[in-house]
Amino acid sequence: MDKILVAIGGIISSFFVYWYFFMKKEQTVEASESIDILVEGGYKPSTISIPYGKTTRINFLRKDGNSCLEDVVLADFKIRKSLPMNEKVTIEVTPDKKGDFDFTCGMGMFHGKLIVK
């Protein structure tokens, strides 16, 4: 009996894990001149739409001691910056191409996205 329950529980948990981590909907936040991103267990907000050809200031504030999040990398803009704890770090981007550009932590574990329109 307990084996059946555990088996059912296992299947349900697996679906839950799948749903919880993979089926999440990203909300896109529009940024005009500047935007604040909180770095705590990921990037909040993590999907940001920024205007093409204009300079947008992205202010990162890290409140998470996880060493993974120490650096933020905007590889398409060739920017890598270290984010000291509790210090606002500003990155200026002036996109010259449209599309989706990922930004990640130093090890590529946490992801965010810049959508250039």
Partner 1 sequence: MKKTFFIKGMHCASCVYTNEKALKAISGVKDAVVNLATNKATVESSGQILEEDISHAVKGVGYEAIFDKQSASAEATADKEKQKELTQLKVKSLTSLFLGLLIVWGSFPGIMNFAPVFLKDFYLQFILSSIVQFWAGWQFYQATIPALKNRLANMDTLVALGTTVAYVYSVLVVFFPAIFKSAGVEAMPYFDVSAIIIALILLGRYLEAKAKAGTSEAIKKLIGLQAKTARVIRAGKEFDVAIEDVKIGDVVRVRPGEKIPVDGMIIEGESSIDESMVTGESMPVDKKKGDKVIGATINKSGSFLLKAEKIGRDTMLAHIIQLVEEAQASKAPIQRLVDIISSYFVPAVIILAVGTFTGWYVFGPTPVFIHAMLNAIAVLIIACPCAMGLATPTAIMVGTGRGAEIGVLIKDAASLETAHKIKTVIFDKTGTLTKGKPAVTDVTKFSIFNFQFSKEEMLKMAASVEKNSEHPLGEAIVKKAESEKLYLIKVNKFKSITGKGVEGIVDGKKVYVGKLLKQEPDPEGEKLKNEGKTVVYVYVEDKLAGLIAIADTIKETARETISILSKMKIETYMITGDNKQTAQAIGKQLGIKKENVLAEVLPQDKEKKVRELKNDDKNIVAFAGDGINDAPALAAAHVGVAMGSGTDVAIEASSITLVNKDLRSVVRAIELSRKTMRTIRMNLFWAFFYNIILIPVAMMGKINPIFASGAMALSSISVVTNSLFLKKQKI
| Contact residues: partner 1, CB under 8 A | 3, 6-7, 9-11, 13-14, 17-18, 20-22, 24, 40-42, 44, 46, 57, 59, 64-68, 73-76, 78-82, 84-85, 87-90, 92, 102, 104, 106-111
CB of 108 to partner 1, least distance (A): 5
Question: Which residue type does 68 have?
Answer: C
Q: How far apart are CA 53 and CA 67, in angstroms?
A: 33
Closest approach of Cβ 38 to partner 1, in Å? 9
Tokens of 99: 């599309």
Least CB distance from residue 75 to partner 1, whole Å? Answer: 4
Rounded Cα gap, residues 2 and 38, in angstroms = 44
Residue with tokens 């839950």: 16
